[in-house]
Structure 1
Amino acid sequence: MVSHRRSTQPGLNPSVRATVLSAAAATAAATLGTATANADPHDAPRTAKARIDLLYTEAERATEQYNEAGENADRLRGEVGRAQDRAARGQEQVNRMRTALGSAASAQYRSGGIDPAFALLLSADPDSYLDRAAVLERLTDLQATELRQLQQVQRALAQTRAEATHALADLERNRAAATRHKRTVERKLAEAGKLLGTLSGTDRAQFERASRSGRDGAFPAAAGLPAGSSRAAVAVAAVRQALGRPYIWGANGPDGFDCSGLMQWAYAQAGVSLPRTSQAQRYAGHMVPLSEARPGDLVVYRADAGHVAMYVGNGQVIHAPYPGAPVRYDPVGMMPVSSVTRV
């Protein structure tokens, strides 16, 4: 059998090979030691800070999804309630109509026997009765009208009950979605909290002082522009009153806010009802270029529209940044701007 194992190189006996391998290992260890010694001691904190910022971004996205599910659940609860009210009224109408028909049947019975048409009329299946009664030709015009009215009311009642059932199913799905998003937020925030705990006091303070991306936020628009409208001016005054209040995910004031909750609360002080999420708020007015931003405009960030702030002039926004950072000023260019909306 032919062996394909590589033969030992000539001129290298076992002791020489051992010496060569030892020297190579020593060289590798020395190289690794040099690389470790030359490693930037700031890399670990920078990596942790980047990871924390990413976790906050992901938590913020999940927060907006949680807000959307909650908003949908509120809407669906209203739909369910209205459908149930309609169903109750429909059932009352059916009961009244059947009672009236029953009274007519009783009167006929007392006068000499109930017409088979009335017996069918009071059956549980008026749809089939129409076909059968047409064959029997026993319906008077009045009876036919009353029966058709009962039939229409019963069909409307069945439709209303189906709508209520569908809305209830949607409500349960939105509740489940809200629960999932809540768990995601809590998991992301817990991980970010652990990483914050690994930073030194100086690094942590520096991180908490820094803007979302560390950009200087150079802004091309002229300073001192008036608010976009009188209601925008009221919203700006309100958002300034919120400075220093804590970030609380899922909250829309007055004691704490997440980013879209702060915008919703501020505009509510001006009598304007904004949607709950940053994704929906970007369409709550008409969009303008960033260079034309005025105080009160909503500045939406990132391609996913996952964060929103209010422009307050002089290249600054006020926003609720992330857990642990209170409502504060930051440069408008702190993150990539997705759109600017004038409400």
Structure 2
Amino acid sequence: MPLPLIPIIVAGATAVSAAVAGKKGYDSYNNMKDTKELAENLKYKYKTSSTNFQLSRDDTNRTFENYGKVKLEILGGTMKQFVESFKQIKNVTFKGEAVTDKFVSNSEIERFVLHLETQVVKAGQIMTAGVASLAGGGLAAMGAVGATATFSAASTGTAIATLSGIAAQNATLAFLGGGSLAAGGLGVAGGTMVLGGIALAPALAIGSLIFAASTEKKLLEMHAKEAEVNSELQKLESASTVMAQIRATTKSMQKLAISTDKLLASNVGKMENIITNKGKDFRNFSVEEQVIIHNNYKLAIIMRDILNTTILDEKGELIPNLQSVISAEKQKISAI
């Protein structure tokens, strides 16, 4: 008599199997949906973060280039004017309370003017050749590195090559797009790049990771990939933060350089008027006129120190305590 029950049991088993299969299908559908949504979300987050990073990188490069151009213009403009006028004055002696609170020897004055003249000449040569001659990150290097370091070469061509070489050897400058990026094992598209001590995985690697996960991996594996991607996104955001600090410091230095240049230009104009009206012998100048000449000298030293201040070291990291340097130079200016 149990034989008639077999079709019923089979039917019941079939129904259960169908229900289980339906549940698995439903779960599989949800998993695929969640996986796809998660992948799309990660792609969007990465695209946004990557775009912001690229914009930050381009902005940082432009900031260095702008400051580099300002440095060249100051050296080829007001500093050149100072050298040409100051060199005309004979028998310059900065001593006595009416002129200075610190004795400055004649040899010290001569060394300073000679050193400054060298920078002025080389800046003029580069400007004559055209800013376009500073291809390969040279203009950015001029903004990031002190003028003394960038003008260590002997002629125009080698000076330009030196600037480009600095860009190639400096990690951040190279990453921003300057110089031969093969130098020091750095590359344009691949490998790990260092920016302020932060390792950046190549964008292509992250992109392929996301696409592979969205098409081939299960939801559980996708969550594991999510942690990896978020880690890389944090690196991009951290690098953008570092570059923001670099830009802020560079803009502060540029602002200080421009304001000091305006003050120096005004004083150089006064010095030229003294030379025109009183001649070129420092001994014939009044105490007030001698003070003006001395103020020109002190401002030129401050201007030189500002232009010689390096923002990034060889590793591409921001030089510490630059804000203190800026404050110190401002105090010197206020004292004049």
TM-score range, shorter chain: under 0.3
With CA pairs under 8 Å and 6+ residues apart, which has the higher RCO, 1 or 2? 2
Whose helix fraction is larger, Structure 1's or Structure 2's? 2
Structure ID, larger Rg: 1
Query: TM-score, normalised on structure 1?
Result: 0.26
Whose strand fraction is larger, Structure 1's or Structure 2's? 1
